[in-house]
Structure 1
């Protein structure tokens, strides 16, 4: 699909378009705007006169989708506590790190999507108002295009809702004769916004195809399973503690004193969310979407590495069968992957291509289960007390760790997703061109070599790097890009298990079944077997609160490094707990194992209640006094 931006208008409708843009710019409080009209089309009339021009406008509506596969553009990658890097010598956009370090501001909000999303909504409205005029457009295509743009309009509202909470609904563009006072409209309560978005998603799902017909030209286009999956995510978020009975917002009211967030808990929201999840799952199954399993007959791998490839390639195998929605306009490409990949080849340590600076924090490393499928602090057989002490790798681990090498006890006896998702000093990193040893103590191959391009924690993000990434002769790199997974089936299964548990008085058989399906693919026993046999809290899975903790940890593990933890901690209201801790890593300047495996503070995070929602720009509120600022800003 082709994005069309920064094109000026001329002709008889120029003034009309200018007024429309300026009205919306005034309404959103934006000082700058980008006028978007396809390919120098002079007027809206011309833009919708023939199919080819209207299709360009359709792709313009798509062009506002955020670049969620870019670490520098997606706050959920670096704005929390999952990945850390040296903020002094970052080679990428430092915006997300500034959020993580507590520098958000109402004067100039960091990663502020307010204006751009409303521009996208404006263009969606223009499209929906005019697509009926395209004379050579087949009815079935018109129906599909309307479904796509209804979805995009919903998604842009949803993106704003997740960031800002109560927002303005722009169902129709404002007329050119609108008064200045009519432009100034207040925010809408969260429950009403949720209902509006859900209605748009329902309407779009009825018009969209279940599958893509042309995989060569249409991958990334919206389908009905995508619309239903986003509705499920929307309603789970609406039912979660942030927006469902959150008394922190007792005084968060509009200018007419009406509440903007309902502070009374409503259990029925979880029923609605569960029903939406099940509908999305049924639609995904009907479209032959299923959990990915690696099956490359051209490659001979041991069962251990076969399992690792299943886990890694559920994300990195482009357009694989688990993907509900992959972002074709924000692929996880060479740059993102080289941020994650350390210098593997000892013959090319001077190559500046691999950087290896997306460093998982110790707390995230510790969240992965033991090999028995329970939290390491609960496992009766795991040596939790000595987890930070060096231990020599023996023959039992020699297949995937370096025999005779000393590494931390924390890196032993962990679940398959640990070894598939992160790498560490003493690990072996499987790539298509070889099995590479990782040695990260000072002076070794993967240690710090420069002021940038190194892991500050001693861990590396293996999950998002395609195993096809290679360093070629001539100091160049090549890799297979893949669409960033905006939604995959495992995510939907876990949302459903969560919603079922929250609505019921105790965990249900169906909730167990869906979480166990994800665990089985990850090479783990069922929740029931793992806890009853290996946990010090053997009955944890039998209670609503206990199973809630299990489902939440399962999500944090399964979706690690996929920009999910950031939003989950917020909707669960756990960010204030997790992001008021010290970010820890190993002492990467250590030479000996004893020196290296010493916990080292990197940053002391601070998170307040106000940080759950983005601030509106203060100047927007001065322009439109009917807008109220989010609490604390």
Structure 2
């Protein structure tokens, strides 16, 4: 019964996001809330503009893994902001307050976990989607528009479930029920992980049937849900379900908990086939491709960098729509260059980037020189990381100048009152930023929630697990590296060794995920689905101390910027919020919590 009240309150909150509901008087009576809610439903779904506004509000919560102020946006909690999902991983350190601090040190509980507000917010939006699908037929929208927008709501509902499942494992599926009838009994308990994945995949298929492909979409509707987005979300979740965390060797043998955190208790290769087929379905649309443009004299990897500044491009499948601005540059860049340095990449991430010839820095023939650690690196490195002597626009000199990281290290200049904003690692982020042609200006861009490269990588990963490193798998990795600006070499292999084993190619693919999608919200989920977080997220988060010598040269010393803890098995899944578990004895908490 408490769940009914909570979900009803969530819907009232959803309607309150429209301006007309703000002035409504708050009542302590549940029946009064239902009456007020009903009156406002009448207003919303009797007006076309308000009906579409109600739907559009749901879109605002689809970019929470990569927008830099996502925590403040989703909770309205001042002082609890951190840069992006990357700051909950070994890749990056932000200002380092809660919730990041408790999470990284293993001190989080079910009462203060960073995802607690996600749980409530996503169920709020799921119920709003249910409302929309139920009520849209009463709206003055045309029948065609009713069908299309109901398809959008169906996808958004699946998307919010996918967000819940990625954090918590199996969650409660409410179907089309809105839970407004207090006389209706409800069993408040979780569905299995398999049931949730199968439901999301099925809902994506149903939504796809009611939505146009991108090429048939009105250009003015760019960013609204289309068929490609539906198929891509399905593929993402099936790749996850086939991965080690969910496919064999579960983290718990408890017969009650195991189905909540695992698709199959024993390894099932057919899950990889389903994942491959789902990725291939997106590839076969012929709608998307790797974005790669070159201009005369452009630097290696120019197309990869330019993609993130191009609002509409052939690679973005699901964009998170933004208004123009410089908020990303203001968040990423150091104070001396017009930013605030919110998020500082770690040496852990820097070490993942190989060399321009495609070789890992530790590989024979890579050409890596520890005395000049940033020379001849993978071009994606230069477009992701601000490092010592990186060229960046200088507001003081009004030109492109090398940045002296050694002057901005936290603790060096303590008299200016801005120590907390200085780099904690010896690096700053520049991923997706406009940073190479002068003073950064307002960018009319969007962020990539899902892009085509993820489909290529998912297909290559799945096929490698099924058949090993076939020519097809090799070609996908080479295509991605080519677009990144890596040199082909005399053998045309882009740094890949011939005759790799399945295990070696698996390592290559995982490394490509790490560097290709850095700061796009993937690493947290990837290290969990691969079941590698107990290693990658359970070691020191390193930085690079830079010292300038009297002769003008620099020395570099790796240091521990922060000690991190990953507690097995509990941190593979977020805990359900403490208050939610207390609502029902049948709502089981995740292992270890």
Q: TM-score, normalised by structure 1?
A: 0.79
Query: Deviation string for 1:316-359 (max 9, x for gaps)?
Result: 32223321111015x6952332121235xxxxx4x7x4123422
| Distance in 1 of aligned mates of 2:134 and 2:193 | 26
Task: Report what 2:574 is aligned to.
Answer: 614
CA contact (8 A) 1:79 1:97 kept: no
Report how far residue 226 of structure 1 moved.
0.9
Are 1:429 and 1:438, in contact at CA under 8 Å, matched by a contact in 2? yes
1:154 aligns with 2:127: no
Which residue pairs with 1:280 in the alignment?
A: 282
CA contact (8 A) 1:81 1:579 kept: yes
- Matching residue of 2:449: 486
**Which residue matches 1:355?**
340
Change (3 A) 1:519 1:110: same
Retained in 2: the 8 A contact 1:431–1:469? no
1:67-93 CA-partner distances (Å, limit 9, x unpaired): 4443242652210011124526xxxxx
Task: Give the aligned partner of residue 315 of structure 2.
Answer: 322
Preserved contact between residue 392 and residue 402 of structure 2 (Cα < 8 Å): yes
| Partner residue in 1 for 2:471 | 509
CA offsets 1:385-416 (integer angstroms, 9 cap, x no match) = x62xx3xxxxxxxxxxxxxxxxxx22123222
TM-superposition CA deviations, 1:141-198 (whole Å, max 9, x none): 1221111011001001111000000100011225544458x33421111111100010
Q: Deviations over 1:281-337 (max 9, x none)?
A: 222x2x3x32222456xxxx634x2x34322222232223321111015x6952332
Judge conservation of contact 1:249–1:263 (CA < 8 Å) in 2: no
Matched, 1:438 2:423: no
**1:130 aligns to 2:167 (yes or no):** no
TM alignment of 1:93-132, pairs within 5 A: 94-112=98-116, 113-132=118-137
Corresponding position of 2:333: 341
Shift of 1:614: 0.7
| Residue equivalent to 2:74 | none
What is the CA deviation profile of residues 190-212 of structure 1, one whole-angstrom value per residue up to 9, with x for unaligned ones?
Answer: 11110001000001111111127
Q: How many residues align?
A: 554
Gaps of 5+ in 2: 22-37, 72-83
Q: What residue is the counterpart of 2:365 in the other structure?
A: 380
Deviations 1:39-96 (A, max 9, x none): 34824344323433322322233344354443242652210011124526xxxxx534
Q: Cα RMSD between the aligned structures?
A: 3.3
Q: 1:63 to 1:521 in 2, by over 3 A?
A: closer
> Aligned with 1:484: secondary structure?
strand
Cα distance in 2 for residues equivalent to 1:508 and 1:166: 34
* 1:84 equivalent among 75, 93, 102: 93
Please point out which of 259, 271, 274 is paired with 1:269: 271
Counterpart check, 1:60 vs 2:57 = yes
The Cα shift of 1:247 comes to 2.7
Q: Give the conservation status (yes or no) of the 8 Å contact 2:4–2:182.
A: no
Larger mean CA deviation between 182-191 and 420-429 belongs to: 420-429
Of 552, 556, 580 in structure 2, the residue corresponding to residue 597 of structure 1 is 556
* Aligned residue number for residue 206 of structure 1: 209
Q: Which runs of 5+ in 1 are unaligned?
A: 1-18, 89-93, 344-348, 391-408, 472-476
Matched, 1:459 2:427: yes
Report the Cα distance in structure 1 between the residues aligned to 2:543 and 2:108, rounded to whole angstroms: 24
Residue of structure 1 aligned with 2:297, choices 298, 302, 305: 302
Conserved? CA contact 1:211–1:223, under 8 Å: yes
1:236 aligns with 2:221: no
Counterpart residue number, 2:25: none
State whether residues 357 and 488 of structure 2, in contact with CA within 8 Å, keep that contact through their aligned partners in structure 1: no
In structure 2, relative to structure 1, the CA distance for the partners of 1:132 and 1:584 (3 Å cut) is same
